[in-house]
Amino acid sequence: MLPGDLPESAFKELGVDLDKLRISTASHATARASPNLLHATPLSRDEPPPGAPSIVLYAEILLHIRTATLFGSLRTGKTHDTKARLSTDATCITVSYEGESATLRLPMKVKGGGSAVVEIPAEPPNKDISVRLEVEEREGSSFFTGAHSDERKANVVPWDAVSLNEMKTLSVLCRHCQSPVVGTGRVTEWRDLPNENWAEMMDFWHCHKPDEHHLHDHAHHETFSKKGYAAGSRLKAIQSIGFIDLASFLLSEQDCEGVQSGARSSDSPRNLLTCKACSHVLGVLDEQASGWRVWKWALSIGAAGPSLPSASPAHSAHTYSIQKWISARLLFLIENLGIRKFHVHADTDGASVPSLLIWVFTPDLLFSSSVPSHKEPRNDPTRAMKIFYQKKEWSPPKPGEAEPASVEEVSFPQELFDELHSALEESQQLLPVSARRFQGWDVGLLERFDVGEDNRARQHNNEQA
């Protein structure tokens, strides 16, 4: 089935009026319209490797300026026979030249369809295509404004306490082998942990409350220690209770029946937690909290019921792309630190390691590409961040060495760093060749969680239970 045969309901959330959308071809005008757009003169242009598609199409919507643009690259220069035609339902565009064609599912509907043809200027005779779409939201829509817009501004992160407590039955599995990690029914309550800096904030607040200034030192300490969320009362793992933060679960050792501690090899860290069935790394020991911290990106969560025993619930389990968890982490850092550049490297014992200098250039966009993703299926339009990155080498700072205030150092577990590197490299294949570099930076995409994604997965899990 071609993308153009998709039902109209697939785009209804966008709320775009077909009569209020205009298409215009632009080359230099596109770049002037927004520096965020990928249509810019690259520092260098590499030729596509042998076997690469003759036509690569890419479209993106920059939500904050309500602009959509189609980009394309051809193996040879475009001619007068190069055409772009809209599908009958106006959800796809097909570009053809020299007897070949490529079809792209657009991030939104456009005006026209059927016999509508977008003329592509033959001049200048280069290999690039640029078609600009100007969008005006219809009356009553809330995609760009209103409640729906406010929801999109939030850093959506699945598997919070509300969603897990609402599930009829819950099975926590290893994402690699689908073996149980937490015994079914062992965790009876899930609780959200606040911001990572909660202890320092609570410490400051409670140390300066005027109604406690009159207390003597002993009385003040006793009152302070009874506040369960204060810095003075250390967070500890509790059996049958799962604590949740942005990217991990804090659990008691007794509840993690499918997890084992210890290094996989002589050169592995001793605080690693691995799956008993497949030995894949699932998390780390949290000595400060006297518990086991299991990473969300290493897990699948699904329904377990009478028809799906806890030992084999693979058919109902749900997992998310690891790169989406990375995006959530980067968005969290942007919100809390107010910067967009990060020097990311893998956990190290002090030796120099490969690293990536990351610049989150556009935190939120929707894109579609004519090139499919090979590792995980993609259902365009896809919500993502546009990332500029450079390969670097990181080593521990020397005593007295100044750290740049505009760049934050970030340490990832090795698997997460490898996934970040791999995701950025692979995402370049989704872009036209001319858009893969920009002023000395490589350009990539990182998918991010979308509004309602966790709700749809939870509804599916409940239906399967």
3-state SS string for the chain = CCHHHCCHHHHHHHCEEEEEEEEEECCHHHHHHCCCCCCCCCCCCCCCCCCCCCEEEEEEEECCCCEEEEEEEECCCCCCCCEEEECCCCCEEEEEECCEEEEEECCCCCCCCCCCEEECCCCCCCCEEEEEEEEEECCCCCCCCCHHHHHHHCCCCCCCHHHHHHCCCCEEEECCCCCEEECCCCCCEEEECCCCCHHHHHHHHHHCCHHHCCCCHHHHHHHHHCCCCCCCCCCCCCCCEEEECCCEEEECHHHCCCEEECCCCCCCCCCEEEECCCCCEEEEEECCCCEEEEEHHHEEEECCECCECCCCCHHHCECCCHHHHHHHHHHHHHHHHCCCEEEEEECCCCCCEEEEEEEEEEEEEEEEECCCCCCCCCCCCEEEEEEEEEEEEECCCCCCCCCCCCEEEEEECHHHHHHHHHHHHHHHHHCCHHHCEECCEEEEEEECCCCCHHHHHHHHHHHHC
pLDDT band of 463, cuts 50, 70, 90: low
Strands (E), 183-230: 189-192
Most confident of 229-233, 365-369, 443-447: 443-447
Query: Among residues of the chain, what percentage have pLDDT more than 70?
Result: 64
| pLDDT, average across residues 219-234 | 49
Q: Is the pLDDT of residue 43 over 70?
A: no
Which of 75-84, 288-297, 376-385, 453-462 shows the lowest mean pLDDT across its residues? 453-462
373 vs 425 pLDDT, higher one: 425
* pLDDT at residue 292, as a whole number: 96
* pLDDT at residue 264, as a whole number: 55
The maximal CA–CA distance of the chain, rounded, in angstroms, is: 87
| pLDDT, average across residues 390-396 | 93
Say how far apart CA 271 and CA 263 lie, in whole Å: 7
| pLDDT, average across residues 244-254 | 95
Burial 323-345 (b: 16+ CB within 10 A, else e): bbbbbbbbbbbbeeeeebebbbb
pLDDT digits (tens, 9 = 90+) for 203-212: 544 454 444 4
* pLDDT at residue 396, as a whole number: 85
* pLDDT at residue 187, as a whole number: 94
pLDDT band of 30, cuts 50, 70, 90: very low
Coil, helix or strand at residue 312: coil
Which of 47-61, 101-115, 148-162, 443-457 shows the lowest mean pLDDT across its residues? 101-115
| pLDDT, average across residues 389-397 | 92
* pLDDT at residue 33, as a whole number: 34
* pLDDT at residue 346, as a whole number: 93
Q: Is the pLDDT of residue 384 over 60?
A: yes
Work out the number of other CB atoms within 10 angstroms of the CB of residue 3. Answer: 20
The conformation of residue 24, written as its DSSP 8-state character, comes to E
18 vs 266 pLDDT, higher one: 266
pLDDT band of 425, cuts 50, 70, 90: very high
CA distance to 34, 58, 103, per residue, from 10 (Å) = 28, 19, 17
pLDDT digits (tens, 9 = 90+) for 169-200: 888 999 999 999 998 889 999 999 986 655 55
Which of 11-25, 137-151, 317-331, 340-354 shows the lowest mean pLDDT across its residues? 11-25
* pLDDT at residue 69, as a whole number: 84
* pLDDT at residue 122, as a whole number: 60
pTM of the full structure: 0.79
* pLDDT at residue 45, as a whole number: 46
| pLDDT, average across residues 288-302 | 94
| pLDDT, average across residues 271-296 | 94
Q: Is the pLDDT of residue 11 over 50?
A: no
pLDDT digits (tens, 9 = 90+) for 124-167: 667 888 777 665 555 555 556 655 566 777 888 999 999 999 88
pLDDT band of 310, cuts 50, 70, 90: very low
pLDDT band of 429, cuts 50, 70, 90: very high
pLDDT band of 48, cuts 50, 70, 90: low
Q: Is the pLDDT of residue 316 over 70?
A: no
Q: Is the pLDDT of residue 351 over 50?
A: yes
Contact (Cβ atoms closer than 8 angstroms) between residue 191 and residue 228:
no
222 vs 280 pLDDT, higher one: 280
* pLDDT at residue 61, as a whole number: 84
Supply the mean pLDDT for the chain.
76
* pLDDT at residue 393, as a whole number: 93
